[in-house]
Amino acid sequence: MHSSTSIRPVDFSQTNLLAKMAVYLHARHPNPTPEQARMIKQIENPGHCSGFMVATLAALHLKTQPLEPIDQLIQRDDIDWVVKMETLLDQWDGDIDHIDPDDIEDIDRFIKLINRYQKIQDYETGIGTGNLDLMLTIHGEHPKREYSIAGCFGSQQLLQKFLLDVNGTEHETSLIEAIAQPGRMVVVTSARHDTGIFCWDDLYCYYDANIKTGVQFYKKSEIGKLVDQILVSNLCSPDNSTQLGFRVFSLTGETPVYPDAISLHKMFAKELPAATDTNNIDSLKIAANIGCKESFGYFLEQYQAEITNDPKKAPELMAALKIAVAHNNVELLHQFKLLRKSLQPNAQGEVLLMLAASNGLCGLIRDLVKLGSNVNARTIHDETSLLMSVHFNQLTAAQTLLELGANPNIADSPAKNTPLHIAAINNNYAMVEALLKARADINAVNAQGEIPAKLTRDQRIISLLAREGIQRKFDRSDTKRKFYSTDFTTFTPLSADVVKSIRTDAQALNMKMTGKPS
């Protein structure tokens, strides 16, 4: 940027920076490609707290690392670079020609970085929040996911002193001190907002993307102020408790001094009730969000007892399950084996098997069926797990369900569409093939009087269904209504070549089976 002097304090809040990023991208790409248009749309959506937080904490850690030879030649993405990019955007006057050409490439890279990290948190990458380490790379190294803990915390729980045994020696510490160790990135989540902590020498660095001043620094003696800020950032009074989760990642690869998750849960379990706060967020949902299997298992047992006494609690349990599924925290889902009674359809028309099917979790599907879950269980709308897998184009899940005995001909209501109808609507050739192998009814009629072939415009599918109908005409084991190739030509715009090919095959098969032309 040509101007070297800031005319006002920098506003580091995500609200300000995202607005500047959107204006910049529109100016940078007046005729955007589809990929650039997607990027602009994503940046225009409010809420990139996770993207800014991960980028900032990673940059803080990088600043503590010694310079490599390559760093002498290329500006590395440490906190100085991040602050420079945010300052450039904040002070920019909106004219793309007023940005130095040397800065354009850096700003482009910074925006992509923020968007990439946000996608991890939004589960658009297929990698759940608890697996941030699989995507994040700092100085060529992946951070190590150490542990997580979730529950209902306030100042008292976070600052309460206790003795923790470390290699045979007891150390007095608090939960927040035990979590925020040097060389670690701590992601703090409330399911509404993500903030982060990084311990740099004797300082706690706290980042909240909604704070205009950017990174806040607290001395070890000011840890009480840090806790207060964490609670305020998550819209909670320091005097009250709120649902929080902490995910701890080692950025140095060192063996943690303490704590281990089991010890923490043994100590704090009694302090972590599965109560729901004013935003309908409870500890089980937080544990599902961050992939904390220890907390998840503990709260699951509490819910099991509550559901036994009050079946109306089941929808809340399923809501937490949906979070675990959506966030790809698969290891949590296996703990639902404990809740066999909850596998029946609940008031919301959802069952665990259906959620596993709609998300393609084949291993979990097999486990649940072994536990006795009904593969053909229906919701109040007659949806089955197979229908859900077909609807979401989960081919391997559909094949697994068919292998386990799923009925391919159960129709939903009120549309009366079978899985084959849905596969045809989706123009999913491979799914149609799988359903035909399972002897799905090609003549099934939905509420509109339509057979599956009428719902697709994919001529490969139409041809496949026609040939299957011809074959079944001569299959004595098929007791369904006869299906003739000429049925298709009356309502589907088949190409002349396809019609000719189908009719030729039909005549040849008819001659072979009956000795007479069709």
User: For 312, which DSSP code?
Assistant: G
Q: Are residues 211 and 116 in the same domain?
A: no
Q: Is residue 483 part of a domain?
A: no
Q: Is residue 129 part of a domain?
A: no
Q: Is residue 186 part of a domain?
A: yes
User: For 215, which DSSP code?
Assistant: -
Q: Which two tokens stand for residue 443?
A: 């003549």
Q: Where are the beta strands (DSSP E) in 220-365?
A: 242-250
Q: How far apart are CA 103 and CA 224, in angstroms?
A: 40
pLDDT at residue 326 in the model: 59
Point out the domain boundary residue: 306, 340, 370. Answer: 306
Q: Are residues 107 and 239 in the same domain?
A: no
Q: Are residues 118 and 169 in the same domain?
A: no
C-alpha dihedral (279, 280, 284, 287), degrees to nearest 10: -30
User: For 181, which DSSP code?
Assistant: -
Q: Is residue 172 part of a domain?
A: yes
Q: Is residue 283 part of a domain?
A: yes
Q: Which two tokens stand for residue 96?
A: 């793309």
Residue among 337, 313, 419 at smallest CA distance from 376: 419
Q: Are residues 105 and 189 in the same domain?
A: no
pLDDT at residue 503 in the model: 63
Q: Are residues 80 and 154 in the same domain?
A: no
Q: Is residue 185 part of a domain?
A: yes
Q: How far apart are CA 60 and CA 65, in angstroms?
A: 9
Q: Are residues 32 and 155 in the same domain?
A: no
Residue type, 189: T
Q: How far apart are CA 272 and CA 309, in angstroms?
A: 20
Helices (H), 336-482: 352-358, 362-370, 385-391, 395-403, 419-425, 429-437, 459-473
Residues β-bridged to residue 244: 151
Q: Are residues 70 and 98 in the same domain?
A: yes
Residue among 253, 250, 244 at smallest CA distance from 271: 244
Point out the domain boundary residue: 277, 306, 335. Answer: 306
pLDDT at residue 338 in the model: 47
Inter-axis angle of helices 283-290 and 293-309, to 10 degrees? 140
Q: Is-contact 340 371, C-beta < 8 A? A: yes
Q: Are residues 179 and 73 in the same domain?
A: no
Q: How far apart are CA 398 and CA 438, in angstroms?
A: 11
Q: Are residues 49 and 148 in the same domain?
A: no
Residue type, 126: G
pLDDT at residue 201 in the model: 82
Q: Say how many domains are in the chain.
A: 2
Q: Are residues 104 and 174 in the same domain?
A: no
Q: Is residue 420 part of a domain?
A: no
Point out the domain boundary residue: 93, 122, 151. Answer: 122
Q: Domain of residue 205: give its range.
A: 142-306
User: For 196, which DSSP code?
Assistant: E
Tens-binned pLDDT, residue by residue, of the chain (518 aa): 333 444 678 999 999 999 999 999 999 999 999 889 988 998 988 789 988 998 999 899 888 887 765 555 456 788 999 999 999 999 999 999 999 988 999 999 999 889 888 876 554 433 344 456 665 666 566 777 777 788 778 898 899 888 877 677 788 888 899 888 888 889 898 867 889 999 888 899 999 999 999 999 999 999 999 999 999 998 888 778 787 888 888 877 665 555 555 666 666 655 444 455 555 567 777 777 776 766 777 676 666 666 556 655 656 666 676 666 655 565 666 555 444 444 444 433 345 677 778 778 787 788 778 767 788 888 777 888 999 899 888 999 999 999 999 999 999 888 899 999 999 998 899 999 999 999 999 888 999 888 888 888 888 888 888 878 766 665 544 444 444 444 444 444 445 555 566 566 656 655 555 555 55
Q: Are residues 208 and 286 in the same domain?
A: yes
Q: Is residue 354 part of a domain?
A: no
Q: Return the CATH number at 153.
A: 3.90.70
Q: Are residues 108 and 181 in the same domain?
A: no
Q: Which two tokens stand for residue 212?
A: 């205009």
